[in-house]
Amino acid sequence: MSEKLKQLKTLLAEVADLNAVQALLGWDQQTYMPQAGGEARGNQLATIGKISHEKFTSDVIGKLLGDLENELNGADPDSDDLRLLNITRHDYDRATRVPSEFVAEYAVVTSKAFEAWMEARGKSDFSIFQPHLEKVVELNQRYVTFFPPADHPYDVLLDQFERGMKTADVKAIFNALSPQQVELLRAIAEKPQVDDSFLHVEYDEKKMWDFSEVIATKFGYDWERGRQDKSAHPFSTNFSINDVRITTRYEPDNPANMLFSTMHETGHALYELGGNPAYERSPLAGGTSLAVHESQSRMWENLVGRSLPFWEHFYPEFQKLFPAQVGNVDLQTFYKGINKVEPSLIRVNADEATYNMHIMLRLELEIGMIEGTVKVKDLPEIWNTKMDEYLGITPPNDAKGVLQDIHWSGGALGYFSTYALGNLVSAQLWEKITADIPDLEDQFRKGEFSALLAWLREKLHVHSRKYKPQELVERVTGSRINSDAYVRYLKNKFGEIYGL
Q: Catalytic residue positions?
A: 265
> DSSP label at 239?
E
| CB neighbourhood size of 53 (10 A) | 16
Q: Distance (Å, rounded) from C-alpha 256 to C-alpha 369?
A: 38
CA of 321: how far to CAs of 249, 287, 314, in Å? 19, 36, 11
Please list every residue from 177 through 206 that binds a copy of itself, using CB under 8 A: none
List the x/- string, 111-140, binding to a copy of itself by CB under 8 A: ------------------------------
| Cα angle: 358, vertex 364, 368; to 5 degrees | 145
When binding is defined by CB under 8 A, the residue of 25, 170, 308, 360 that contacts a copy of itself is 25
Total of chain residues touching a copy of itself, rule CB under 8 A: 39
When binding is defined by CB under 8 A, the residue of 43, 70, 197, 373 that contacts a copy of itself is 43
Q: Which of 246, 370 has the CB closer to a copy of itself?
A: 246
* Residue at 146: amino acid letter: F
Closest distance to a copy of itself from the beta carbon of 2 (Å): 23
Closest distance to a copy of itself from the beta carbon of 414 (Å): 30
Q: Which of 273, 341 has the CB closer to a copy of itself?
A: 273
Q: Which of 9, 121 has the CB closer to a copy of itself?
A: 9
Q: Distance (Å, rounded) from C-alpha 383 to C-alpha 15?
A: 41
Q: Distance (Å, rounded) from C-alpha 146 to C-alpha 140?
A: 10
Among 429, 441, 426, residue whose Cα is nearest residue 475: 429
Please list every residue from 433 through 472 that binds a copy of itself, using CB under 8 A: none
Q: Distance (Å, rounded) from C-alpha 412 to C-alpha 433?
A: 33
Are residues 169 and 153 in contact, defined by beta-carbon separation less than 8 angstroms? no
Closest distance to a copy of itself from the beta carbon of 226 (Å): 6
List the x/- string, 234-273, binding to a copy of itself by CB under 8 A: -----xxxxx-x----------------------------
Q: Which of 244, 341 has the CB closer to a copy of itself?
A: 244
When binding is defined by CB under 8 A, the residue of 103, 108, 168, 223 that contacts a copy of itself is 223
When binding is defined by CB under 8 A, the residue of 93, 115, 229, 441 that contacts a copy of itself is 229
Are residues 486 and 432 in contact, defined by beta-carbon separation less than 8 angstroms? no
Q: Distance (Å, rounded) from C-alpha 214 to C-alpha 388?
A: 41
| Three-state SS at 240 | strand
When binding is defined by CB under 8 A, the residue of 166, 227, 249, 340 that contacts a copy of itself is 227
44 binds a copy of itself (CB under 8 A): yes
| Three-state SS at 379 | helix
List the x/- string, 2-21, binding to a copy of itself by CB under 8 A: -----------xx--xx-xx
36 binds a copy of itself (CB under 8 A): yes
Closest distance to a copy of itself from the beta carbon of 351 (Å): 33
Phi/psi for 14 (5° steps) reads: -65, -45
CA of 494: how far to CAs of 159, 306, 342, 431, in Å? 33, 12, 12, 17
When binding is defined by CB under 8 A, the residue of 47, 79, 127, 175 that contacts a copy of itself is 47
When binding is defined by CB under 8 A, the residue of 11, 28, 58, 471 that contacts a copy of itself is 28
Q: Which of 177, 246 has the CB closer to a copy of itself?
A: 246
Which neighbouring-strand residues pair with 243?
A: 240
Q: Distance (Å, rounded) from C-alpha 184 to C-alpha 500?
A: 9
Among 277, 273, 287, 283, residue whose Cα is nearest residue 83: 283
- Contacting positions for a copy of itself (CB under 8 A): 13-14, 17-18, 20-21, 24-25, 28, 32-37, 39-41, 43-44, 46-48, 51, 222-227, 229, 239-243, 245, 280-281
